[in-house]
Amino acid sequence: MSSRKISSPAQGGLDPLCAAINMWVSAAGILILAASPLLAQSGDAAKGKELYESNGCPTCHRIGQSGSRLGPDLSTIGDRRTAERLTQSIVDPDAEVLPENRFVVVTLKDGTEVRGRILNHDATSVQLIDPKQDLRSFETSKIRGYKILTKGLMPSYEKKLSPAQVTDIVAYLSSLKGSD
């Protein structure tokens, strides 16, 4: 994603938390939030954990042995993503998607659509994990179509959560680190 930084209306504002928030505009023109490293530190990880669970995140994501395997595993996400990236993923999840996290739809010969997260794709077959967490494999000669979903299965939480709540969730996710 290419993006440019713009001045944030929140900068220097009343809420100290918001002072840490910068506003970004993605190439698609979508206003998204991004946080400085301070953001993760200033959020409340305990509240973030509650928000993570109450907002249905385990429906698709797995932490440790809880939650679905459909979406990216977040067990050690704090080792791998900055607070800015985590914030972006929450408010604009389609802005940047790693190849292994792409969602795809396979259309069978009878028109049935099977959605899931891509595992492998080669010249003759495609493998994915579906919402029921079943590993599925399709031979391309036996399906009608296959495409990568540019609009993934994860919704934007920009309008569902306040910036402070996003910051709390980011603080929680940032705390998830591997044991090594």
Partner 1 sequence: MDVSKLLPFALIAAILPAQVTYDSILHASRDPQNWLTYGGGYSSQRYSLLTGLTPDNVQNLELKWVFHPKYLEKMEATPIVVNGVLYTVQNSEVVALDAVTGRTFWTFHYAVPRESNQYLMVVKGLAMSGDRLFWATYDGHLIAIDAKTGHAIWNKIIVDWHEGYQLNVAPLIVKDMVILGPATNEEGANCWVGAFDVKTGKELWRFYTAPMSADDPAAKTWAGESWKHGGSPVWVTGSYDPETNTTFWGTGNPNAGWNGDNRAGDDLYSDSVVALDADTGKLKWHYQFTPHDEFDWDSVQVPVLATIPWHGAPRKVMLWANRNGFFYVLDRTTGKFLLGKAFVKQTWNVGFDEAGRPMKAPGIDPKPVSGPVVFPGGQGGTNWYSPSFSPRTGLFYVSTWDNYGSPEGKGPIQEWKPGGKYTGMASRRSASPTARARFRGVEVAYRTEDEGYGALRAIDPQTGERKWEFKMIDYTESGVLTTASNLLFTGNRAGNFFALNAATGALLWHTNLGGTVASGPVTYAVDGRQYVVVCGGSAMYAFGLPDSK
3-class DSSP assignment, residue 68: coil
Q: Closest distance between partner 1 and the C-beta of residue 62, in Å?
A: 8
Q: Which amino acid is at 36?
A: S
**Options 3-11, 83-91, 128-136, 169-177: segment touching partner 1 (CB under 8 A):** 128-136
Binding residue for partner 1, selected from 28, 137, 148, 177, defined by CB under 8 A = 137
68 binds partner 1 (CB under 8 A): yes
CA–CA separation, 160 and 144 (whole Å): 36
CA–CA separation, 165 and 163 (whole Å): 5
Q: Closest distance between partner 1 and the C-beta of residue 35, in Å?
A: 22
Binding residue for partner 1, selected from 70, 86, 106, 166, defined by CB under 8 A = 70
Which position has the token pair 């080792």?
Answer: 79
Binding residue for partner 1, selected from 29, 98, 122, 150, defined by CB under 8 A = 122
Return the residues of window 1-40 that contact partner 1 according to CB under 8 A.
none
Longest dimension (CA), the chain: 60
CA–CA separation, 39 and 85 (whole Å): 12
